[in-house]
Chain A
Amino acid sequence: MREISYAQALDEAVAEEMRRDERVITLGTDFTGNPIKEFGPARVRYTPISESVLTGMGLGAAACGYRPIVNWRMVTFSFVAMDQIVNQASKIRYMFGGQADFPVTYRCGVGGGMGSAAQHSQSPYSMWMHVAGLKIILPATPADAKGLLKSAIRDNNPVVSFECSRLNAVVGPVPDGDHTVPLGIAEVRRSGTDVTVVGLAYYVQEALAVADELVGEGISVEVIDPRTLVPLDVETIRASVRKTGRLVIVDEAPPTCSAASEIAALVVEDRATFRALKAAVQRVCAAPVPVPYSPPLEKAALPDRAGIIAAIRRVIDF
């Protein structure tokens, strides 16, 4: 199996899907490499910095038979297109009674830890989860980056691809051939018996590192990577919690109304899972501040291994 970076895996996904289906087109202010060379200027569109019109154009072209990939680059810029995302993309299929499909993929970088400061370090997963009608992928490995993005491009709905900036350079094995990962299926990254840790994006690898660290203390950690937030594979998470009786969720968004909150609610709402809980559910999230620039402040704002370990100890010692 080849080892490639998360960023390369994402590029491969787009290129393979453009090769596979000539209706796939891509719009963005910039691209890595030179995709025009292979796919031509009709299908690879360098655009003005006009996020709102690009977001809506994706819907219009999708309604007319194409499968556009609109690259917002950073999730930050998607907020400029709020009307097209919230009022149009998420509602258009339902409010028109399912007359048409809108197979459009919106790509963007998310997350902090890159010294990019407040605006460019955001992880607004739950904002788009809250807006019913968008599917959301959140890959944590190069293999999933490729497989989930390919599935997103083939999906007949608007899909938001949250691509974790801190993972771009991470290298990992990616299966050869037409590697796809279905939306809505979580992955148990590591089996354990004492506590379930649900990690999002960058925090999957951090949870795995913590799990290694705690082996010496005799604490067995199960690590779950949801991989897609909409649809969310809540049953895999609940089944794990029924087994371990303890749940820690690690999410680099601030805790209020976060994906972590939603996962916690879905777990405790379920009767059998609630009864299996041996400790209160713990969230390890960002500080409720805009992510600051200065390294010690940024570090303090984001979750870290020490915070994950502390949360695990709280549920073990409950």
Chain B
Amino acid sequence: MVTNTPDLIGLLRKMILIREFDELAIRLRKAGKIYGVVHPYVGQEAMAVGVCANLTNADRVTSTHRGHGHCIAKGADIKRMMAELFGRVDGYCKGKGGSMHIADFAVGMLGANGIVGGGLPMATGAALAAQLDGKGNIAVCFFGDGAVAEGEFHEALNISSVWKLPIVFVCENNQYAANNAVGVQHQVTDVALHAKSYGMPGLTVDGNDVLAVCEAARAAVERARRGEGPFLLEGKTYRWHGHAVRATPPPETRPAAEIAQWKERDPIAHLAADLIARRLLSESELGSLHRQVQADLQEAVAFADASPFPDPKDILVDMFAAPA
């Protein structure tokens, strides 16, 4: 089922939730409440939300190291996500995965991934399964511009095209692979141009315009559902924070003017202003949307904090599946 009339307020609410979830995760990381590394999705919210608006739970997505946005957009529960960041038993992975390995198979979210490009093959396999099922479900693979330099990108696009797999490759071109600008890593910086090499359609959209992303994704998703094969969709976007938030994050190396320029193109402010101008949303409704998101996040933190840590005696649990 494709959402033919996007629930505009719903899109806005999800984008705000993703942003505030990650802003909160950054604060919690700095406060030492959560461990390891967080890769914030802030600034890129329109990509996950615009694409996933066209998907059902029977459609599968794979994600990246910057995966919180994809989880939330696909319908994962922020309470269990937060519990995972806290390393607690009620987290999606019972505390075994952390930020970079959140998955919720029940909603078709096949996992974040710590390896750039690592999710491309798995998404392609999910697309093969969907093709064999023949029920019109599809797979979506989210990846960044950095993954385009990996062999797995090229292998996945080629085999998907040869087999006409129902998959949409979604490149979130946030202009930087870790701390290196796209222009010093790729001769071809418009990722969608690679589609031609693999005999599939490709399109570059404004990745900070959720409606543009949603429209483009809808066409690609519907095409895949009809069995017409893969599509390469690129959204130009930008992450507001550094590559990773950890105990001692590296200094910001991107030009301040560039960051400021992209913040002017805030996908959330853009949609909110648009809805207010079209009288589909009032300032006070926007305020209550924000308050509701904050309340939901407080609830998620309380849930995570109340969940116990895993018992070390369970260290070997989940290694192997029980015999068939």
Binding site for B on A (CB under 8 A): 25, 42-43, 45, 47-48, 50, 52-66, 68, 83-84, 87-88, 92-103, 132-133, 135, 154-157
Contacts and interface: CB of A to CB of B under 8 A. Distances in A.
B110 interface: yes
Contact of B125 (A56, A94, A135, A157): A56
Contacts of A135: 320
Contact of B158 (A50, A96, A98, A154): A50
A55 B115 CA distance: 15
A52 B154 CA distance: 11
B125 A65 contact: no
A56 B96 contact: no
B321 A156 contact: yes
B318 A93 contact: yes
B114 interface: yes
Most buried by A among B103, B158, B317: B103
Contacts of B97: 95-97
Nearest to B141: A60
B164 interface: no
A59 B122 contact: yes
Contact of A59 (B94, B117, B121, B158): B121
Interface in B106-162: 110-111, 113-115, 117-118, 120-130, 132-133, 139, 151-152, 155-156, 158-159, 162
A157 B132 CA distance: 21
A87 B121 CA distance: 12
B101 interface: yes
A59 B113 CA distance: 14
* Max chain B C-beta neighbours (<10 A), residue from A84, A103, A133: A84
A52 B158 CA distance: 12
Contacts of A47: 159
A156 B125 contact: no
B324 interface: yes
Contacts of B121: 52-57, 59-60, 84, 88
B323 interface: yes
Nearest to A156: B321
A131 to B, nearest CB: 12
B93 interface: yes
A54 B125 CA distance: 8
Interface string B213-252: 0000000000000000000000000000000000000000
Interface residues of B, number: 50
A137 B115 CA distance: 28
Given A59-B121, A60-B125, A64-B129, A99 B156 contact: no
Contact of A53 (B129, B139, B152, B322): B152
Given A54-B159, A59-B122, A63-B105, 13 more contacts: A53-B124, A56-B124, A59-B125, A63-B125, A66-B132, A83-B117, A84-B121, A94-B318, A97-B94, A97-B97, A98-B94, A98-B318, A157-B320
Contacts of B257: none
A92 B100 CA distance: 12
A25 B111 contact: no
A48 B163 CA distance: 10
Nearest to B119: A56
B29 interface: no
B260 interface: no
B126 A60 contact: yes
Contacts of A154: 324
A65 B120 CA distance: 18
B267 interface: no
12 contacts: A25-B132, A55-B121, A57-B121, A57-B159, A64-B129, A64-B133, A93-B318, A97-B93, A98-B94, A98-B321, A133-B320, A156-B324
A60 B103 contact: no
Contact of A64 (B93, B126, B156, B323): B126
A155 B128 contact: no
Given A59-B125, A60-B128, A97 B324 contact: no
Contacts of A68: 125
A97 B98 CA distance: 10
A48 B152 contact: no
A132 B319 contact: yes
